[in-house]
Amino acid sequence: FMSYIMRHMHEATDELYFVIDEKNNSIELTDKGIDLLTGKTDDPTFFVLPDITSQLSQLENMTGTEEEKQAQKDEILANYSVKSERVHTINQLLKAYTLFEKDDEYVVMDNKVMIVDEQTGRIMDGRRYSDGLHQAIEAKERVKVEAATQTFATITLQNYFRMYHKLSGMTGTAETEAGEFWDIYKLDVVVIPTNRPIARNDMNDRIYKTKREKYNAVIEEIVQLTEAGRPVLVGTTSVEISELLSRMLTMRKIQHNVLNAKLHQKEAEIVALAGQKSTVTIATNMAGRGTDIKLSKDVKDAGGLAIIGTERHESRRVDRQLRGRAGRQGDPGSSVFFVSLEDDLMRLFASEKIAGLMDKLGFKEGEVLEHNMLSKSVERAQKKVEENNFGIRKRLLEYDDVMNSQRNVIYTRRRHALMGERIGLDVLNTIYDTSTAIADQHAEDFEGFKLELFKTFAMESPFTEDEFKSMKPEQLVEKLFEEALKTYKRRMERMTQVAHPVIKQVYENQGAMYENIMIPITDGKRMYNVSCNLKEAYDTECKAIVKSFQKSIVLHMIDEGWKEHLREMDELRHSVQNASYENKDPLLIYKLESYNLFKTMVDNMNRKTAAILMRGQIPVREEPTEEQRQAMQARQAAVAQQAAQAIAEERARQRIAVQEAAPEKHEDMSRYRTEKTDLSGNNTQAEAPQPKQAPVRAEKRVGRNDPCPCGSGKKYKNCHGQGL
């Protein structure tokens, strides 16, 4: 029968635009779907990923210069990147609309999409789906689409737990996961007998054909139990189902409380009341609520707490957690699960045989199938899902183990920078590693070597071209490291010399007022404000400032490099999955490529760190020398003379303009001249009021940020332009 279905599956899928694989939680566009999307564009391959391997191999066989080939290669890679992102975006949108249901996997509160924890039913505040999926759901729900977050640190829970020297735990539901505990952590699971014998009655699953019949049966069961004076706890797998049952109970006028991701603030209060006579509580996954449901004597006599599961969960653990709410410390109680063939678990993993059996037996509307064999069949379906999920987790761990070794290297280095105990040694290692990398990279190119030295270490080559070519690589590195270290120490000593007088003055005059002090340090490109303890700086003659500078730069470079590396590793992990189509192991390719990425990241980190540390200096305002002062005065005098000459010429032009405009009044110009008495009492001749003068424009004004004309190399505002 199954082979017949597989042979004729294309007849069903040919008419579809996309196919959903619920088991693997994935989605795939069909040819018809791709045609629909590309129909509105001019490019028929708009949503089709190109065969990049064949394109690149064709490029190698083509004629042309290396530069032309490289340009074409870059274009092919850029085109692939754009199309890959486009296909990925469509995929995520389809996932958001078809695989993620509101009030099931997530809820919308305060105009935000909030993820619901599948195990506990609680809202995971601050957590977001990765890889653009959260943005796709936000677009679907028409709420504000938040920017994609940048990952600063990542670790799997398994590797996080492995960091502890000793591992142990206690839970009532570890037995079903004993295999995983041993495989991942090498931990045995030991079952501890209960303090008092269990009096709870765990009944067989009740199986119905449809969800409608099942929920009706659940409501009838609740009515019977409450009439008998027993409290009822109804477990659901989603917020949506808990609200559906709540509406059904309201229609039957049955008082009840709802505990789900939307109402978890009242959690303790609702759980505390859940054991009272005839109380009905609907809860989304009763895992780890931290409160025992206490029962009165009347309730115990009536039969104790009744647990009703409205659906079997994917994991047996969650079902057992729900069952475990009743029968605490020898209390009486009962538990039963209502299942329908339309439930996700049954539909995907276990329904064919049971459906065939129900059809053979001629089951009618509302009839229930109940047998120990069927309950075990449901548990086998759960086992399948658990094994599948364990396989996914194990694969995830294998990928994370690759990154874990890189993580250990980076975080050890970061810890050293943070504590500062051996930061000096780490800086020396950075300079040495950078020297080695530069020497290896430019082993045959002296000009490139000189340029790289100037870019990274801000120093000239310590040897000639002949020495460079004749020296062994080991000697070359040692000599280069020695010279780079001398240069670095000299610049750091200069920093302490500049800072010491200022620190001394501040500490001796205002030491009681300040505990820490901010030191501005620049590498010529940007300013870094480095915090340092004032007393420590004074006591060490400012060597503490150098240490603080080293710490802040190394930390900054590690954080920047690691953040970018995580993004690249994430992209790599998605891209290597395509290797499975070529019958290659994606994990093996991931290991090889991730090593190259890490090596490149560490090299870039070292170079950037060395470049900033080697250029670090405290900016100081120096007094001009006598020669600079004389040059400035001469320039100011020249500028003043040019301005006076320009004013005189402008006035002359204005007089001519007045004469040309009114020549008939030329003889009467004397009447514009009047006798005026100055303040001293002397009579003076005063000219008639002149027309408003145009602004005087000098030949060229020196800008504040232009080089100073005196030739000092400083900006005008920091030299002869101070105070202007």
488 CB-side CA count, 13 A: 24
- pLDDT score of 692: 42
What confidence tens digit (pLDDT) does each residue in 296-323 have? 999 999 999 999 999 988 888 888 888 9
106-132 mean pLDDT? 82
| CA 207 from centre of chain | 45
- pLDDT score of 2: 57
Give the whole-angstrom CA distance, residue 416 versus residue 16. 58
**Contact by Cβ (8 Å): 489, 543:** no
Give the whole-angstrom CA distance, residue 57 versus residue 65. 16
Q: At 349, list the tokens.
A: 């993993």
Give the whole-angstrom CA distance, residue 418 versus residue 651. 69
Asked if the model's pLDDT at residue 152 lies above 70, the reply is: yes
**Contact by Cβ (8 Å): 345, 378:** yes
Nearest CA among 294, 284, 282, 269 for reference residue 318 = 284
Task: Look at 75 and 195; give whichever has higher pLDDT.
Answer: 195
Mean model confidence pLDDT for the chain:
81
Kindly report which listed range (291-295, 330-334, 679-683) carries the lowest average pLDDT score. 679-683
**Contact by Cβ (8 Å): 43, 79:** no
Kindly report which listed range (376-380, 422-426, 595-599, 620-624) carries the lowest average pLDDT score. 620-624
- Strand, helix or coil for residue 207: strand
617-644 mean pLDDT? 74
Cα Rg of the chain, angstroms: 40
443-458 mean pLDDT? 86
Give the whole-angstrom CA distance, residue 400 versus residue 311. 34
- pLDDT score of 722: 66
Kindly report which listed range (138-152, 365-379, 589-603) carries the lowest average pLDDT score. 365-379
Highest mean pLDDT among 306-315, 356-365, 632-641, 696-705: 306-315
Asked if the model's pLDDT at residue 366 lies above 80, the reply is: no
362-365 CB contacts, 8 Å cutoff, 24+ apart: 363/209, 365/213
Q: Which amino acid is at 671?
A: R
Q: At 143, list the tokens.
A: 């709420």
548 pLDDT band, cuts 50/70/90, is very high
- pLDDT score of 649: 74
496-520 mean pLDDT? 87
497-518 mean pLDDT? 87
> What residues contact residue 564 under an 8 Å CB cut-off, 6+ apart?
601
Q: At 390, list the tokens.
A: 């364990």
Give the whole-angstrom CA distance, residue 55 versus residue 33. 25
Task: Look at 560 and 292; give whichever has higher pLDDT.
Answer: 560
- pLDDT score of 70: 79
Nearest CA among 37, 51, 155, 43 for reference residue 93 = 37
Bridge partners of 208, per DSSP, are 340
Kindly report which listed range (317-331, 372-386, 663-677) carries the lowest average pLDDT score. 663-677
Give the whole-angstrom CA distance, residue 453 versus residue 459. 6
537 CB-side CA count, 13 A: 31
Give the whole-angstrom CA distance, residue 107 versus residue 262. 8
Give the whole-angstrom CA distance, residue 317 versus residue 175. 9
Rounded to 5°, angle at Cα 660 from 655 and 664: 110
Q: At 689, list the tokens.
A: 């009021």
Angle in degrees, 0-180, between the axes of helices 178-185 and 372-419, rounded to the nearest 10: 30
264 pLDDT band, cuts 50/70/90, is low
77 pLDDT band, cuts 50/70/90, is confident
- pLDDT score of 646: 75
Asked if the model's pLDDT at residue 684 lies above 60, the reply is: no
538-550 mean pLDDT? 91
352 pLDDT band, cuts 50/70/90, is low
DSSP 623: P
- pLDDT score of 657: 55
Angle in degrees, 0-180, between the axes of helices 423-441 and 586-615, rounded to the nearest 10: 110
Asked if the model's pLDDT at residue 221 lies above 70, the reply is: yes
- pLDDT score of 265: 58
Kindly report which listed range (15-19, 205-209, 539-543, 558-562) carries the lowest average pLDDT score. 15-19
Q: Which amino acid is at 346?
A: M
- pLDDT score of 248: 94
- pLDDT score of 716: 65
Residue 297 CB coordination number (10 Å): 7
Sequential DSSP letters for 145-213: -PPPPPPS----HHHHHHTSSS-----TT-GGGHHHHHHHH-----PPPPSS--EEEEPPPEEESSHHH
Asked if the model's pLDDT at residue 344 lies above 90, the reply is: no
604 pLDDT band, cuts 50/70/90, is very high
Q: How long is the chain?
A: 724
Q: In whole angstroms, how far apart are CA 60 and each of 66, 69, 582, 700? A: 10, 8, 21, 56
- pLDDT score of 300: 93
Asked if the model's pLDDT at residue 157 lies above 80, the reply is: yes
Query: Sign of the C-alpha dihedral, residues 91, 95, 96, 97?
Result: positive
- pLDDT score of 552: 92
State residue 116 phi and psi, 5-degree precision: -100, 130
Bridge partners of 335, per DSSP, are 202, 307
351 pLDDT band, cuts 50/70/90, is low
**Contact by Cβ (8 Å): 491, 529:** no
What confidence tens digit (pLDDT) does each residue in 632-675 have? 777 777 777 777 777 777 777 666 655 555 444 444 433 333 33
Bridge partners of 108, per DSSP, are 113
Give the whole-angstrom CA distance, residue 62 versus residue 159. 48
Task: Look at 618 and 633; give whichever has higher pLDDT.
Answer: 618
- pLDDT score of 1: 55
Asked if the model's pLDDT at residue 214 lies above 50, the reply is: yes
338 pLDDT band, cuts 50/70/90, is very high
The 3 state secondary structure assigned to 369-432 is ECCHHHHHHHHHHHHHHHHHHHHHHHHHHHHHHHHHHHHHHHHHHHHHHHHCCCHHHHHHHHHH
460-485 mean pLDDT? 88
Nearest CA among 95, 85, 83 for reference residue 134 = 95
Bridge partners of 236, per DSSP, are 284
Highest mean pLDDT among 19-23, 365-369, 558-562: 558-562
Bridge partners of 250, per DSSP, are none
The residue written with tokens 């039969």 in the block is: 303
State residue 163 phi and psi, 5-degree precision: -70, -20
- pLDDT score of 676: 34
pTM of the full structure: 0.61
56-61 mean pLDDT? 77
**Contact by Cβ (8 Å): 308, 319:** no
Q: In whole angstroms, how far apart are CA 694 and each of 644, 645, 649, 656? A: 14, 14, 12, 15
Asked if the model's pLDDT at residue 64 lies above 90, the reply is: no
Asked if the model's pLDDT at residue 559 lies above 50, the reply is: yes
Give the whole-angstrom CA distance, residue 97 versus residue 142. 12
- pLDDT score of 575: 79
Residue 545 CB coordination number (10 Å): 27
- The rounded percent of the chain whose pLDDT value lies above 70 is 85
Give the whole-angstrom CA distance, residue 30 versus residue 37. 11
State residue 73 phi and psi, 5-degree precision: -60, -45
Q: In whole angstroms, how far apart are CA 637 and each of 628, 632, 640? A: 14, 9, 5
Give the whole-angstrom CA distance, residue 708 versus residue 449. 33
Asked if the model's pLDDT at residue 228 lies above 90, the reply is: yes
Asked if the model's pLDDT at residue 696 lies above 50, the reply is: no
362-367 CB contacts, 8 Å cutoff, 24+ apart: 363/209, 365/213, 366/208, 366/213, 366/216, 366/217, 367/208
Angle in degrees, 0-180, between the axes of helices 316-323 and 372-419, rounded to the nearest 10: 100
Q: Which amino acid is at 316?
A: R
Give the whole-angstrom CA distance, residue 495 versus residue 88. 51
> What residues contact residue 25 under an 8 Å CB cut-off, 6+ apart?
99
694 pLDDT band, cuts 50/70/90, is very low
Asked if the model's pLDDT at residue 145 lies above 80, the reply is: yes
Q: At 550, list the tokens.
A: 């080293």
286 pLDDT band, cuts 50/70/90, is low
